[in-house]
Amino acid sequence: MNILIAGFQHETNTFAPTRASWQSFVQGEGFPPLARGADVLALRDVNVPAGGFITMAEAEGHTLVPVIWAGASASAHVTEDAYERIAGEIVEAVRRGGYDAIYLDLHGAMVAEHLDDGEGELLRRVRTIVGADVPIVVSLDLHANVTGEMFRHADAMVAYRTYPHVDMAETGARAARILMRMMSARERGLKHVVRRMPFLIPVNGMCTLADPARSLYERLAALERDPVVSLSFTPGFPAADFPECGAAVWGYGFDEAAVTAAVETLAAAIVSRESDWDVHFLDPDEAVREAMRIAGHATRPVVIADTQDNPGVGGDSNTMGLVRALLRQGAHDAAVGLVWDLHAAAKAHEAGVGAIIDLTLAGGTGVPGDAPLAGAFVVEHLADGRVRFDGPMMNGMWTDIGPVACLRIGGVRIAVCSVKMQIFDRNLYRVAGIEPERMKILVNKSSVHYRADFDSIAEAHLVAKAPGPMAADPADLPWKRIDPQVRLRPNGASLRELRPQTA
């Protein structure tokens, strides 16, 4: 076959402060930078879905027609300009023809300034051109908010099964296998069944390194047997204020009764353990005190997830709540990363290693309860920010986070960067001159992804709710447009129950 391939990845937090511009996708912000044409094929060496699809398809002797691959860090809405430029390139390539099938590497939770359902609209435009006879297969993030429009226009969609997302390339390979099976002369016309869950799941509760997610995905894999071709469960991205936000289970197969039975079994398993999907959060000082207590007899660092400022879910990685808590509690041998502040990084580079500089660091979010941190900081390390990821996520990818500095205040070292990025790889500390294994406490601006590379060195993991733009508890968000019947957290109230006069 000739297979057209393209990728367009964004996870949209409609409550976040910063939008994803064209430049966000050009730079990548933790994803591979924007690539076109033959350069897309270089992703075969990176743990992203397109990489797994490319490797599998090439091994089977198929010819790939690469168009564009673009991704950007989670944020508020994708600008209309960025969406139309990237989607426009994909649609124009589809219009030119020269392929037998289409593979799209999408996220599944994209909201643009002018569109609630970025992926559904892209698929609609593509399907309008190719008609019913050209198969379209899609890979999706575990945090996808799947929509009816997506199901209408894609022949098959498959989602990640791990969070942290260490199976991205594997998911792309699954999409390739499904496409090849569909294209066989006797197996066309997959039937799909979908069930939506009645409650939102906090992001921190979705980690597949622990139950309930771990055992649920084990059960999913066991149920995925012929005649069931594929099963997926997306816990969703609970920060997109539109009617189809939320978790869903779906499957494909050639026997609708078998697919229905498998999907309903999984859906019942999720709902029956609703309470287990909830999460216990600590306030900043509680988290630091507990971390110091554990660190007092530990040989490995205690990690605190600064989840409400995670740039992977729409934060800007620049709140100071947990830094202040570390200083108030007198913590030492503590490190915080990454803090996004171009001005502070530039001033540190101007002053040089060893200098003491007066700074007002970060904290410009406008989030209630957060403010910049003024103080005298020691410049301990400087670097250009060029770094390779050696951890399980994005393994093998190089990125550039701009000028980097390690700034120390009291017993706290802060890794400051010039390009916003979630800290999901230990090398993002090392590029700032901080050896994470030697710290007693690490404050990671991440929710779960960091665990892919930090689990092996961590004594314990704590989750803190410091002031930040991404509510760790989805019930804390000011919802207006979500399905009014969906409970806003496990065992919580729905919008209809909370605001019966408006929902």
SS3 sequence of 360-426: EECCCCCCCCCCCEEEEEEEEEEECCEEECCCCCCCCCEEECCCEEEEEECCEEEEEECCCCCCCCC
89-112 mean pLDDT: 98
What pLDDT, in 10s, does the model give residues 34-45? Answer: 999 999 999 998
Q: How many CA atoms does the CB half-sphere of 282 hold within 13 Å?
A: 18
Q: Which domain holds residue 451?
A: 284-472
Residue 373 to residue 323: CA distance in whole angstroms: 9
Q: What is the mean pLDDT of residues 210-227?
A: 97
CATH, residue 136: 3.40.50.2300
What pTM did the predictor assign? 0.92
% of the chain residues with pLDDT over 90: 92
Residue 71, burial from CB neighbour count under 10 angstroms (0-12, 13-18, 19+) = buried
- Which bin fits 459, alpha (ψ -120 to 50), beta or left (φ > 0)? alpha
Are 489 and 278 contacting, i.e. CB atoms less than 8 angstroms apart? yes
Cα gap 311→445, rounded to integer Å: 7
369-379 average pLDDT score: 96
> How many angstroms separate the CA atoms of 236 and 97, rounded?
34
- 29: pLDDT confidence band, cut at 50, 70 and 90? confident
Count of domains observed in the chain: 3
Predicted pLDDT at 184: 79
Closest to 490 in 3D by CA, of 307, 282, 272:
272
300 and 420 in a common domain? yes
Is it the case that residue 186 has pLDDT exceeding 60? no
* Same domain? 464 vs 503: no
- Please give the pLDDT value at position 223: 98
Mean of pLDDT values over 65-79:
96
Please name the residue that has the structure tokens 């399907």.
127
Rounded to whole angstroms, how far apart are CA atoms 448 and 325? 21
Question: Do 253 and 132 fall within a single domain?
Answer: no
pLDDT-derived band at 394, boundaries 50, 70, 90: confident
Structural element, H or E, at residue 287: helix 284-295
Average pLDDT over residues 184-209: 89
Residues 288 and 225 in one domain: no
Strands 356-361 and 63-71: unpaired
Domain boundary among 137, 159, 189: 189
At residue 136, the 3 state secondary structure works out as strand
The SS3 assignment for 500 reads: coil
Instruction: Check whether residue 170 and residue 252 sit in a common domain.
Output: no
Among residues of the chain, what percentage have pLDDT more than 70?
99
262 shares its domain with 295: no
pLDDT for 3 beyond 70 = yes
The last residue of one of the domains, among 189, 219, 250, is: 189
Q: Residue 414 pairs with which residues in a beta bridge?
A: 336, 407
Residue 140 has pLDDT above 80, yes or no: yes
**Same-domain pairing of 259 and 142:** no
107 to each of 5, 73, 119, 207, 291, how far by Cα in Å?
A: 15, 11, 8, 18, 34
- Mean pLDDT across 479-494: 97
Residue that finishes a domain, picked among 167, 189, 211: 189
Residues 175-195, mean pLDDT to the nearest whole number: 86
Helix spans in 97-206 (H): 118-130, 148-153, 168-182
pLDDT band at 352 (very low <50, low <70, confident <90, very high): very high
| pLDDT computed for residue 501 by the predictor | 62
pLDDT score, position 188 = 62
Query: Strand pairing of 156-159 and 136-140?
Result: parallel
Question: Do 438 and 456 have their domain in common?
Answer: yes
Tokens of 303: 């990690």
Mean pLDDT of 273-292: 96
Identify whether residues 100 and 220 lie together within a single domain. Answer: no
Question: What is the rounded CA–CA span in Å between residue 5 and residue 410?
Answer: 51
CATH number of residue 234's parent domain: 3.30.70
Please, what is the average pLDDT of the chain? Answer: 95
Q: How far apart are CA 370 and CA 316, in angstroms?
A: 13
Claim to verify: residue 468 and residue 479 sit in the same structural domain: no
Q: Are residues 56 and 133 in the same domain?
A: yes
pLDDT band at 367 (very low <50, low <70, confident <90, very high): confident
In this predicted structure, the answer to whether residue 51 has a pLDDT above a threshold of 60 is yes
CA dist list (Å): 289 to 164, 292, 299, 462: 27, 5, 17, 11
pLDDT band at 502 (very low <50, low <70, confident <90, very high): low
My answer on whether 202 and 159 are in the same domain is no
Give which of 173, 176, 137 is closest to 157, Cα–Cα: 137
* pLDDT tens profile 413-470: 999 999 999 999 999 999 999 999 999 999 999 999 999 999 999 999 999 999 998 8
- Cα–Cα distance for residue pair 3/417, rounded to 1 Å: 39
Is 495 in contact with 487 (CB distance < 8 Å)?
A: no
pLDDT of res. 30: 81
187 to each of 178, 190, 260, 266, 277, how far by Cα in Å?
10, 8, 19, 25, 38
